[in-house]
Structure 1
Amino acid sequence: MKTDRFTYEGVPTPCYIIEEDLLRRNLELIRDVSRRAGVEIILAFKAFALWKSFPVFREYISHTTASSLYEARLAAEEFGSKAHTYSPAYTERDFDRILSCSSHVTFNSMSQYVRFYPRVEEYNRLYPEERVSCGLRINPEYSEIEVDLYNPCAPGSRFGMMASQLPDCLPAGIEGFHCHCHCESSSEALEHTLQHIEEKFGRWLSRLKWLNLGGGHLMTRKDYDVERLVAILKGLKERYPDLTVILEPGSAFAWQTGPLVASVVDVVENKGIRTAILDVSFTCHMPDCLEMPYQPAVRNAETVEPDAVKRATPEENVYRLGGNSCLSGDYMGAWRFGHPLAPGDRIIFEDMIHYTTVKTNMFNGIRHPDIAMLHSDGTLEYYRRFSYTDYRDRMC
């Protein structure tokens, strides 16, 4: 079917819609940064893993990053190349299969290295043409992330090794470092992070083959200083010419590439607060809104501070938006609309592709939004339409 990209008229709700033109815009920018800076940029599945879109991605990038066996399998089986894999703790059950799906494996601790590196040695001996490169995750004890939920370098973090925990001579087979310190961060934050990495870990960098600077580099955001990013990465390469530099953003690939389209089901009022109940749920389908928290933009509506809904007159058309679950806190807002809301009205939540599509759940058995790609010619292709059996088959 074809639909209008501004109203999505005729599309049954709820539905996540990825717009191919917007996705390609991001991919072109990321490829340009990779080429100009001389670094490799790979896709982090933790933010985006819609495998039916991988043919588009493969036109621009070659590799992906995984944090589990299932993500590593997705890389090998659906993306078509082996994963750069890191896990906080590999398990006996999964590690051998992870090896077969990975080109790089990063250990979070020295105990994990001691436990599993002999298996890497054996794998590389048996399959020299599929050799796996090993690294350690480092913690530079620095991050500009303000929300502890997303800060991997907060005091007491379970992620990575501090410089004081590393021996002067790195263990056998360690060829790289992996570091993740950012979340929707700027190029300036990366510059500051590199200063701390080089200060604390510089004596090892010249001995390594690769340095993975993790994700959180939101280079596709409008106000991101891309030229500064390129200059920072070029400078790093000049200081360490033999070092392969890798970035693994997630959100940057899918940033502002499409909405979650919902509908009003009912409008209720309590103590003067009007809430439009939708056919979607914040806790099920937009969990980061409640976790971070943040109030998403709604098309053709003005975002206002939440308490405005308590003071607004009916003529102001200010509403909370409520999810259709039984969780009391499944609501956000407020927003001001240009007209009174009524059942059947469309509510279009902007920028709802990254992280949402990988973090959704089926709490309360609420209908999961369909997932579709809006192609450049205006044709809507459904990637997945969910049903009762999807809910039933998750249970036992």
Structure 2
Amino acid sequence: MDIDGFSKTGLRNLKTPCFIISEQALKRNLEILAAVQKDAGCRILLAQKAFSYYPLYKEIKKHLYGVCASGLNEARLGHEEFGREVHVHAPAFSDEDFTQILKYATHIVFNSVSQLQRFRPAALKKKIKIGLRLNPETSVAGEKFGIYDPCCPASRLGITAGNLIGNLTGISGLHFHALCEQGVDPLIKVLNAFEKKFSHIIQNISWINFGGGHHITSDNYDRKTLSGLIKAFKKKYPGIREVYLEPGEAVVMNTAVMAISVLDIIKNGRRRIAVTDTSVEAHILDVLLTRHEKIPYIPEIIGAGRPGKFKYNYLLGGISCAAGDIIGEYSFPEPLYCGQKLILNDMAYYTMVKFTMFNGVNLPRIYHLGSNGKCKTVWNPGYAEYKKNLF
């Protein structure tokens, strides 16, 4: 997100913590995705698990074909607010949820042969397109995304070739997912492995989903190669009418920032600690989830650097009572002060969908940044949301 354009919004007047979403940046991403769809002859879906902020669906659905959902609630949200194709996949469905999902889904992807056999009659009766999620057993996520690797050993996600046994009648599509914020080269590797294991099934389907994790709107993404790959795949398998991609981050990458404020500055030994008005457990959960990974997620703060890059080092802490409520350690060119606002960059995906109100910490406000450089308040949560969240 262009910080120069963002600075025109009058940051000092915004109440923190808050998210600021740039409508212009979102349109840029959507235009890129629409161009890829046209060139490659594919269909792109919004992965709601990454971004479910439905007030923007009106704009997104002008460009994308639909949404993918990970269960009943996301399926209903996609049906009601997006209104195009709704692809549903989950590690498993309960009888109760599946009965409701049938009202909203256009495509259902099963994670096991047993689930396929259990729910196939009901899905086919509703004329819903059904598919299987297959596991290519080819891990490309790397150290940075180890916790999110769907093809890791003993993964519960997708049917391996050795377990693809039983009555598979009724399926019209296949699905695989292996990427995590990556370019086209890992996709080529995974697709080659997928074909080697499952080419005999690919011959008999009419649609396939290449999953998510495609960083299509990144400046260095090779979109030309992606288009060529999809075209060649469809030519090789003429029975396949549709190839789907379901990115989440690529839809909203670089479209939002999070502004927080320094409330206090304290010392413990030689460490300077800046206490802020956010909380990693309530607002930036991936910081906690990846803390013990080899490459943990630490949000980028505009104007700051890693420890030692600049003169003044600070440990940034949150407002909750959890001892581990620490965003990370940063350095700054000038000393921090109480009331100072800090801007966390690229915060739209996998943040807003994971909000909690742990410890009574308030949810962030949400502002829309229009093309005129002005911010509009669209959500101002408070006690009512906290109390409703409890029961």
TM tier, shorter chain?
A: over 0.9
The answer as to 2:100 corresponding to 1:97 is yes
Does residue 372 (structure 1) correspond to residue 367 (structure 2)? The answer is: yes
User: Could you tell me which residue of structure 2 aligns to residue 304 of structure 1?
Assistant: 306
Residue 65 of structure 1, aligned match among 56, 63, 68: 68
Instruction: Please show how residues 7-18 of structure 1 align to structure 2 within 5 Å.
Output: 8-18=11-21
Q: Give per-residue Cα distances to partners, 1:176-235, cap 9 Å, x unaligned.
A: 111111110110000000000000001111100111111000111222222221222222
Which residue of the partner structure matches residue 176 of structure 2?
179
- For residues 40-59 of structure 1, the aligned pairs below 5 Å read 40-59=43-62
CA contact (8 A) 1:72 1:82 kept: no
Rounded Cα–Cα distance in structure 2 between residues aligned with 1:259 and 1:191: 32
Asked if 1:230 corresponds to 2:227, the answer is yes
Q: What secondary structure does 1:300 align onto?
A: coil
> Which residue in 2 is equivalent to 1:141?
137
Distance 2:36 2:68 in 1: 18
Counterpart AA for 1:13: T
Distance 1:347 1:84 in 2: 38
SS at match of 1:5: helix
Contact 1:18 1:374 (8 Å CA) reproduced: yes
Who is 2:293 aligned against? none
Match of residue 5 from structure 1: 6
Aligned partner of 1:394 in structure 2 is 389
Output the amino acid matched with 1:284: A
The answer as to whether partners of 1:266 and 1:276 remain within 8 angstroms in 2 is yes
- Aligned to 1:9, what secondary structure does the other structure show? helix
Q: How does 1:267-286 map to 2 (within 5 A)?
A: 267-286=265-284
> Aligned partners of 2:94, 2:210: CA distance in 1, in Å?
24
1:239 maps to 2:236: yes
Cα pair 1:304 1:333 within 8 Å, conserved:
no
Q: TM-score, normalised by structure 1?
A: 0.92
The alignment yields a C-alpha RMSD, in angstroms, of 1.7
User: What is the rounded CA distance, in whole Å, between the counterparts of 1:231 and 1:8 in structure 2?
Assistant: 43
CA distance, structure 2, for counterparts of residue 203 and residue 221 of structure 1: 34
What is the CA–CA distance in structure 1 between the aligned matches of 2:378 and 2:48, rounded to whole Å?
17
Residue 208 of structure 1 aligns to which amino acid in structure 2?
Answer: I
Give the alignment partner of residue 335 of structure 1, picking from 323, 330, 340: 330
Contact 1:214 1:247 in 2 (8 A): yes
Post-superposition offset of 1:37: 0.5
Cα shift at 1:333? 2.8
**Aligned pair count?**
378
Question: 2:53 is aligned with what amino acid?
Answer: L
Following the alignment from structure 1 to structure 2, what is the Cα–Cα distance between the partners of residues 285 and 332?
A: 10
* Identity over aligned pairs, percent: 38
Q: Answer with 225-234 or 47-56: which moved more.
A: 225-234
Which amino acid is 1:290 matched to?
L
Aligned to 2:343: 348
Q: Which runs of 5+ in 2 are unaligned?
A: 291-295
Unaligned segments of structure 1, at least 5 residues: 125-130
Contact preservation (8 Å) 1:82, 1:101:
no
What is aligned with 1:132?
128
Amino acid at match of 1:231: G
Q: Which amino acid aligns with 1:144?
A: V
CA contact (8 A) 1:218 1:252 kept: yes
Q: Is the 8 A contact 2:151 2:178 kept in 1?
A: yes
DSSP 3-state at the match of 1:227: helix
Aligned to 2:274, what secondary structure does the other structure show?
strand
Residue identity opposite 1:97 in structure 2? Q
Distance 2:339 2:146 in 1: 39
Deviations 1:275-329 (A, max 9, x none): 111100122111112323222111122x214xx49xx9xxx22211111111212
Give the counterpart letter for 1:188 in structure 2.
D
Equivalence for 1:359? 354
Is it true that 1:26 corresponds to 2:24 in the alignment? no
TM-score, normalised via structure 2 length:
0.93
Cα deviations by residue, 1:112-162 (Å, 9 ceiling, x for unpaired): 11211121133x2xxxxxx21000110010121123310111111111111
Q: Does the 8 A contact of 1:52 with 1:383 survive in 2? A: no
CA deviations 1:339-367 (Å, max 9, x no partner) are: 21111100100011111000111111101
Displacement of 1:334 in angstroms is 2.2
Runs of 4+ in 1 over 4 A off after TM superposition: none
Q: Is this contact kept in 1: 2:113–2:168, CA < 8 A?
A: no
Provide the rounded CA distance (Å) in 2 between the counterparts of 1:333 and 1:156. 31
What's the offset of the Cα at 1:4?
Answer: 6.6
1:290 pairs with 2:288: yes
Question: Residue 204 of structure 2 corresponds to which residue in structure 1?
Answer: 207
Q: Which residue of 2 aligns with 1:385?
A: 380
Give the corresponding residue for 2:254.
256
CA distance, structure 2, for counterparts of residue 206 and residue 106 of structure 1: 18
